[in-house]
Structure 1
Amino acid sequence: MGDTQVGARKQAWRPGAPGAVFGWVEALLARQNGYLAAWAPVALGTGIGAWFALLREPGLAAHGWGALLAAGAAGVAVFARSVALRALLLFAGFAAAGFVLAGARAHGVASPVLGFRYYGPIEGRVVEIDRSGSDRLRLTLDRVRLKDVAPGRTPGRVRLSLLEANPWLVPAPGMRVMTTGHLSPPPGPAEPGDFDFRRHAWFEGLGAVGYTRNPVLRATDSIEGMALGRLRDRLSRWVRARIPGEAGGFAAAVTTGDRSGLGQAANDAMRESNLYHLVSISGMHMAMLAGFVFWLVRAGIAALPPLALRWPARKIAAGAALPAAAFYLALAGRDVATERAFVMVAVGLCAILADRRAISLRVVGIAALVVLALRPETLLSAGFQMSFAAALALTAVFGRLPPGWHRPRGAARLWMPVALLALSSVVAGMATAPFAAAHFNRVAHYGLIANLLAAPAMGLLVMPGAVLLALTAPLGLERPALWMVEIGSSWILIVAERIAALDGASSAVIAPPGLVLPLVAAGGLVLMLWQGRGRWAGLAPLALAAGLWAGAERPALLVAESGGLVGLMTPEGRALSKPKGDGFAAAAWLENDGAGRDQAAAHDPVVLPREDRVVRLRLGGVEVLQVSGKTALAALRGCDGAALVIANHPDPTPRPCLRYDSLDLRRLGALAVEAGAAGLDVTSTAERAGRRLWSDRAARDASPLLSSR
């Protein structure tokens, strides 16, 4: 947003005098001299958040006015002599720019979305290989061909889970494959207001998801591009072939970004112990890799006195670490988390080259600006929120430590590293805990202990070993480096397994109301960015967020989009109408309830008895029926005394009550039902999601930016 300079003139003001409020704001912002630039990404994120919060897709006029506001505010701010006016104009300009950037990005990544359920031949090029939540191998394909689907309506990318092992073919990036399988449009939220996978898929260019039980075959002998993807795949297989078991899968994940070799049990243990951030390539990995390369080059120059006296070793080391981090980014696949980590490390290294502080609030702000400008949608992701919350908190806390803390003397050299590691874990854990709990509905109670035990192995063995492996493997001298990586990876997995096995290692948390995370972010930003005693005002939104979260209530009745599953909230927890089927919706409901149990355990045939494929329940003094199957639906006479009927098949029969059949639910999505004073209040996911590009085909067809293509 630009630094502000305070002039020599100071204007006194008194309550009630003309311009008193403006003068107070002027004096208040003047005391933030040199720190207002850190609020630029906050303003940009405010505009991005406003764009995503809309329930109706904004048209060309809204984006045009936003662009004019951004340009006009910036132009007037250049000539503004008042600190307050300049800051307010620039905040408004950055917010308007964020609004326009979000719209431009959403329309720029537009790709066809499959509008129906498809079964038939599927052909495409493999661009990504990973594992699903059910531990199935999963392929992401581009350059897709579907039978009897026109190229203009064929999704740019599809994601396919392989339900059966394929011994005849090992897929690799760039390979063109074919199979026969099922595809559907990306699914909507499991309940109104829940995470919308359709939005995530839209920005990933993913137009359909599905599965196949048939073998995946190679369509052609040629390899279509994806040189870096093939290199990543070869390196991942090379590492797993030399480091056995889960340790090899972990080592491949942190060195190449390929997590397909890590089993579900290991993944679950890492999550339960709050160590999963060690699996996903993040700022820690980038910082460790770049830091080790920096140290290695600088130490090498320092070991040669003639060079150390003549060459700027610090800048040369930073210049060597930057391309190493860039190669790591390219190798890991440039997903959002890795790209965000690289930007932060690159900004820090460039600060060293420019003789600036490598760690400061300004550096964090620049990194956030770059990430949001490139991918505005990351503002809503758990990775962005947790990463920058940790980076901002660590920078703010370490910036307030006494001078010389990083150069300990005497006995402090022994205990200072442990103290700094503990402080870092506490600060980062406290900063990220609200976001982790809100997004994943879990709180790891022994995360601090796990990180204190595992983080040294990552920093002293795994990442240095990975750098040495890259240097020594071409010479055939990789055994010491492989030993370092294997020992460190094995230790981290042992820590995760032991911590996750402890009683009470984690607990489930109820999903917060939608206003909680914005309040947490606002309070945290004021605490970290504002200078002076005014920062304590940030405690107010944090206290309000805590109160809202503590008083959160879950919907009394939830209905799956298929119409085949309902869940009634009882004093003992949510009771589900069946023990299996609609597993995605059931898992999401129970997680958001903070239940900590699976679908089979939540199935309660006493509370929700099923007779003749009809589930009858009471909600607020009225009856609700959930009918499964055509036969049961045809046998239903009227509404049978119910105020609401849910059917998982089309129901052409007029009924004297509120009725949602499969056609209604396909259009409206999952339902949340409450008992109101005037009857039942029904909220659909379509109502909460609005008419946006990713959620409503009519909105895509009506968009002037897309229809002009």
Structure 2
Amino acid sequence: MSEPALQHEDRAAASIAMPEPLFMPPQAALPQRLPARLTPLPMQARGVSLRTRAARMLTAGLEAERGHGQLFLWLPVAAGVGAAASFALPFDPSVAALAAAFALMTAITLHAGLRSAVHLPLALLLAAACGGALAAALQARGAPTLLDSDVTTAITGRVEMRDIDADGRVRYLIALEATEAPEIRRPPERVRLVARTGHEPLPIGARLKARARLSALSGPALPRGYDFAFSALQNGIGAYGFLFEAPVELPATAASAGWVLRSVEYARALRDRIAGRIRSVLPGDAGAIAATLAVSDRRGISPEVVDHLRATGLAHILAISGLHMALAAGTLYVGLRRLMALFPSVVESWPVKKIAASGALVAATVYLVLSGASVPTQRAWIMLVIMLVAVLLDRPALTMRNVAIAALVIIVISPSAVAGPGFQMSFAATAALIAAYGGWAGRAERSERSGGAKGFGLLRGAIGFIAGLLVTSLVAGIATGLFSTHHFHRIAAWGTLANLLAMPLMTLVIMPAGLVALLLMPFGLDAWPLKLMGLGLEGVIAAAAWVDSLGGDVVVGQVPLPATATAAAGFLVLVLMRGRLRFAGVLLAALGAMLTLSPFRQAPPDIVIGEDGRLIALLGEGTLASNAERPSAFVFEQWQRALRAPTHEPPVMVRLPRQIDSGDSPVAAAGAASDPPPAGRASIKRAPVNTAPVNGELARSALVEDAAALRAQRIEAQRTLRDLLGHARGAAGRFACRDRGNCVAVLRDTVIAAVDDGAAIGPACDMANLVVVGFPARIDSCRSGAVLVTARTLRRSGALAIRLLPGEARDPADGITSPTMAAAATGRRGKASFAITASLAGVVRPWTIQRYYDWRSGVYETGGATPQDARPNEIGPLEGGPGVLE
């Protein structure tokens, strides 16, 4: 009785007349068959040029696409391109100019739609692009304040969120209220801090005070890499760091929080209690993943399990996205329909489908709130709401047009999401699956009409289920792989197998059991569905570990942007078009794949320098030789993936005896025998500028002693660098280091020196072709002509990628002269040429402006020479100019 009732309702909904597609031309202008220009040209048309015939076929194909109503699907594409172009500019575009352009293109679109349908597509797409650029500019203007430099200070703030990792450490999201000792002039609004000391976690909404180390957001690890500071446009976090001590809870302020803030804090506190309840029933990684799926609390998962999931392409289950939202809402939707179908009178009297859709909509909204409403979850919720509203309006739910509407809404609300991998991969997978299942459904319908073989119902259903999972994994894997290789530089080789093993558990066991557990949790009856959910998650973890043992992921290296853009254009043409033009997408995708081959891509860099100047690496055949025995994993692993260099070559550590010439003065000898200055600080000293006349003799004596000590330090630095150079020549392609801050390497007869002592800059400039200073020295250039890179110049330019160009290298031995002449000596030397690429050269945007802020003076130093002055094939410092060694 229940099934016929449901079928009766479906047939009634299908009988409702559907509206005409948007932007369809008048009925009189619609061709009843394909235009003649799509048919083979007659023999007398052979005289027409190939270019003319191609133009005619393209015009006819576009007209056919417009007749199908496909123009609307390209609006989010145009808006996304406009938003991406706005964010790619090195300066802030004028909001007024973009608003005027958007208004003008909208007016042209309306005029073209009323007067002529020929120019309508172009005008409409340009209007959408201007709208996307305008939305991006408006979002950039409201960007949060980002910390300009690392600082240790005492903070006072309010706990907005908290989570606990696998080791029991608490991480807080804090809204800053004040800072002191020192007071930060431009403090960020929100910071995320990890508590290093054990303590009773403070509740959400509590006020706290503690001593903290705040770190500025890092930029791209490599040119064309992901800018982590850009993510602040979405999450609003302006700094990260840790607490030195257990935070002290402060009494609440007299001013009561508004009802919106109280509601948000209540939802976050409820989310925290749900996560704690799940982990109490399901300890270990299964419970941590269950908490992730329920409320997006993913800090408790062990690193080993995370690595297995990433290597096998199953990491997408850790981010609440369209899959989780669809499974949760879909389970409730189907369950409500099945339940109401048991009562025929209800089916005949009430719109069962709409009631079930309304219940699923409420459940999806509650799921959004409980999961923390992250950006991927918001995106999934918007897509699901549009589809459920379509059901309420008796429209097809899973259509390409609904996906386009969801994309447009997200671009308007949060245009910066366009640049992120989550937005690109989510919509690519959804669009690809809809296109694939559309073709599959059409073929199945034609097969049934032709009287194909029926087979046994149960066996046929099982085969169809397995085939559906296989096709889903393949289609989604191909669609998302295009963007995952660009952003993460790797692809899961066995991802299809892993998804084929894990997705049945996710679909049939984990998500339904999790939904039932959340529904029963208020009544204390959630233990048995949580344990069932845990069994399914244990199976997923085991499947990920086994598939990872087969080979894991494959590192593909940094993919050129033109290759990704071309392949993405081909993907969109293939998925969004319906006529013959869609096959042009295959050609574009093939062209994009061809652009990734070695003959068409730029040569990899020979030298990479981190944005703080403390980490340098030389690229070899599958190796990266760094100046650190244990380099920062966060940066170095990104270099290894992007440059396809899995092997780390540590430096050759050299113990150098201190040598003192017999002719050195006692002061110089004392200076040479003393310990070197602390890393990161120049040893150059200056005499007081306001010395009283009565102390003039003492001042002159102190100045002489300082000069003697400086001379001794330079002598020792010169000898140290010379000895390191000898060891570096014996280990070509690797660094020879006394410590991390004082290293020398020789790469193809080019000498690279890394120093963190001000007294060593002069000798390094005389000896090396490239000098990297690991502290913000106020030095513009080397008089010798060597390229000088300092932490001060890197602050504005970001990380550097340097290629060695053909040219004559110098003999550093000829350039070593007396330390007192180091600033002026040039020596008998040739030149080595470099092609320097900077990550953020000349980019002054809300997510980079903090790099130009001087906290000492409280002003932005955006004028004068900038890193943009660095040009390929030119030897010189990043900032240029006639400055000399101080």
Same fold (TM over 0.5): yes
* Structure whose CA Rg is larger: 2
CA separation of 1:96 and 1:684: change in aligned 2, threshold 3 A: same
Check the 8 A contact 2:312/2:494 in 1, yes or no.
yes
* 1:685 is aligned to 2:839: yes
Deviation at 1:21, TM superposition (A): 9.1
Quote how far apart the aligned CAs of 1:650 are: 4.2
Q: 1:426, CA displacement in angstroms?
A: 1.0
Shift of 1:670: 1.8
Q: State the 1:701 CA deviation.
A: 7.0
> Corresponding residue for 2:771?
645
Structure possessing the higher relative contact order (Cα contacts under 8 Å, 6 or more residues apart): 1
CA distance in 2, matches of 1:175, 1:187: 29
* Partner residue of 2:204 out of 173, 177, 193: 173
| Local SS of the residue matching 2:766 | coil
Task: Identify the residue that residue 291 of structure 1 maps to in structure 2.
Answer: 330
Supply the distance in 1 between the matched residues of 2:168 and 2:277 (Cα, whole angstroms).
22
Q: Report the 3-state secondary structure (helix = DSSP H, G, I; strand = E; otherwise coil) of the residue aligned with 2:540.
A: helix
**CA separation in 2, counterparts of 1:313 and 1:151?**
59
Query: Cα offset for 1:668?
Result: 2.3
Q: Does 1:52 align with 2:73?
A: no
Pair 144,40 (structure 1): closer, same or farther in 2 beyond 3 Å: same
Q: Normalising by structure 1, report the TM-score.
A: 0.91
SS of the residue corresponding to residue 125 of structure 1 reads strand
Is 1:245 paired with 2:284? Answer: yes
1:213–1:405: structure 2 CA closer, same or farther, 3 Å change rule?
A: farther
Map of 1:127-166 to 2, 5 A cutoff?
A: 127-130=160-163, 137-147=170-180, 153-162=186-195, 164-166=196-198
CA distance in 2, matches of 1:12, 1:228: 62
| C-alpha distance in 2 between matches for 1:49 and 1:448 | 31
2:166, 2:300 within 8 Å by CA — same for their partners in 1? no
Give the whole-Å Cα distance in 2 for the aligned partners of 1:93 and 1:609.
54
- Residue 630 (structure 1) shift: 4.4
Q: Deviations over 1:585-634 (max 9, x none)?
A: 2222112112345xxx4425343232444322234543221123446x26
Question: Is 2:122 the partner of 1:88?
Answer: yes
The partner residue of 2:595 within 548, 559, 568 is 548
Separation (CA, whole Å) in 2 of partners of 1:71 and 1:702: 39
Aligned equivalents of 2:844 and 2:106: distance in 1?
29
1:567 aligned to which of 597, 613, 617 = 617
Q: How does 1:180-329 map to 2 (within 5 A)?
A: 180-220=211-251, 225=262, 226-329=265-368
Question: Matched residues in 2 for 1:650 and 1:476: separation?
Answer: 59
Asked if the contact 2:153/2:181 (under 8 Å) is kept, the reply is no
Please list the CA deviations of residues 343-398 of structure 1 after superposition, one character each: whole Å capped at 9, or x if unmatched.
11111111111111111111111111111111111111111111111100000000
Look up the SS of the partner of 1:173 in the other structure. coil
Give, in whole Å, the separation in 2 of the partners of 1:69 and 1:519: 29
Q: For residue 138 of structure 1, give the secondary structure of its aligned residue in structure 2.
A: strand
Aligned to 1:38: 73
Deviations 1:2-33 (A, max 9, x none): 3323654569788689x999876653222112
Task: Give matches, 1:432-451, under 5 Å.
Answer: 432-451=480-499
- Would you say how many aligned residue pairs link Structure 1 and Structure 2? 692
Worse-superposed segment, 642-651 or 289-298: 642-651
Provide closer, same or farther for how the CA distance between residues 77 and 327 of structure 1 changes in structure 2, counting only shifts above 3 A.
Answer: farther
Whole-Å Cα distance in 2 between the matches of residues 416 and 447 of structure 1? 21
The residue identity in structure 2 corresponding to 1:205 is G
SS at match of 1:625: strand
Q: Post-superposition shift, 1:221?
A: 6.0
C-alpha offsets along residues 52-93 of structure 1, whole Å, 9 cap, x if unaligned? 2212221244323333334323332331332x3111111111
Structure 1, 152-161 or 554-563: larger mean CA deviation = 152-161
1:62-77 → structure 2 map (5 Å cutoff)? 62-77=97-112
2:577 matched to 1:530? yes
Separation in structure 2 between the aligned mates of residue 154 and residue 572 of structure 1, nearest angstrom: 42
Query: 1:390 corresponds to which residue?
Result: 429
SS at the partner of 1:549? coil
Distance 1:263 1:667, change over 3 A: same
Identity of aligned residues (%): 31
| Alpha-carbon separation, structure 1, partners of 2:587 and 2:61 | 19
| Paired residue type of 1:648 | G
Corresponding position of 2:753: 625
Structure 2 residue identity aligned to 1:671: L
Higher deviation after alignment, 230-239 or 353-362: 353-362
Residue-by-residue CA offset, 1:228-267 (whole Å, 9 max, x unaligned): 1111001000111111211111111001111122222221
Equivalent residues in 2 for 1:104-143 (5 A)? 104-108=138-142, 110-130=143-163, 137-143=170-176
Q: Which residue of 2 aligns with 1:707?
A: none
Cα gap change, 1:572/1:321 in structure 2, threshold over 3 Å: closer, same or farther? closer
Q: Which residue of 650, 653, 677 maps to 1:603?
A: 650
Relative to structure 1, the CA distance from residue 617 to residue 702 in structure 2 (aligned partners, 3 Å threshold; closer, same or farther) is closer
Q: For the residues of structure 1 that align with 2:110 and 2:534, how far apart are their CA atoms? A: 57
Q: How far apart, in 2, do the equivalents of 1:558 and 1:152 lie?
A: 33
1:507 aligns with 2:554: yes
Change (3 A) 1:202 1:41: closer
Q: Where do 5+ consecutive residues of structure 1 fail to align? A: 704-709
Letter in 1 for 2:90: L
Distance 1:65 1:327 in 2: 40
* Range with bigger deviation, 211-220 or 387-396: 211-220
Partner residue in 2 for 1:489: 537
Contact 2:753 2:764 in 1 (8 A): no
TM-score norm. by structure 2 comes to 0.73
**Relative to structure 1, is the Cα distance of residues 511 and 572 closer, same or farther in structure 2, using a 3 angstrom cutoff?**
closer
The alpha carbon displacement at 1:134 in A equals 11
Tell me if structure 1 keeps the 8 A contact 2:215–2:240. yes
Aligned-partner Cα distance in 1 for 2:301–2:166: 12
**Which structure 2 segments of 5+ residues have no match?**
1-20, 38-44, 449-453, 653-730, 808-832, 854-858, 863-886
The Cα shift of 1:45 comes to 0.8
Corresponding position: 1:4 with 2:158: no
Q: Check 1:638–1:702 CA distance in 2 against 1; reply closer, same or farther (3 A cut).
A: closer
The one-letter amino acid paired with 1:308 is: V
User: 3-state DSSP class of the match of 2:326?
Assistant: helix
Structure 2 Cα separation of the partners of residues 638 and 318 of structure 1? 71
Secondary structure of 1:308's counterpart equals: helix
Where does residue 564 of structure 2 map in the other structure? 517
Instruction: Give the secondary structure class of the aligned counterpart of 1:400.
Output: helix
Hey, what's the Cα distance between the residues in 1 that align with 2:183 and 2:210? 19
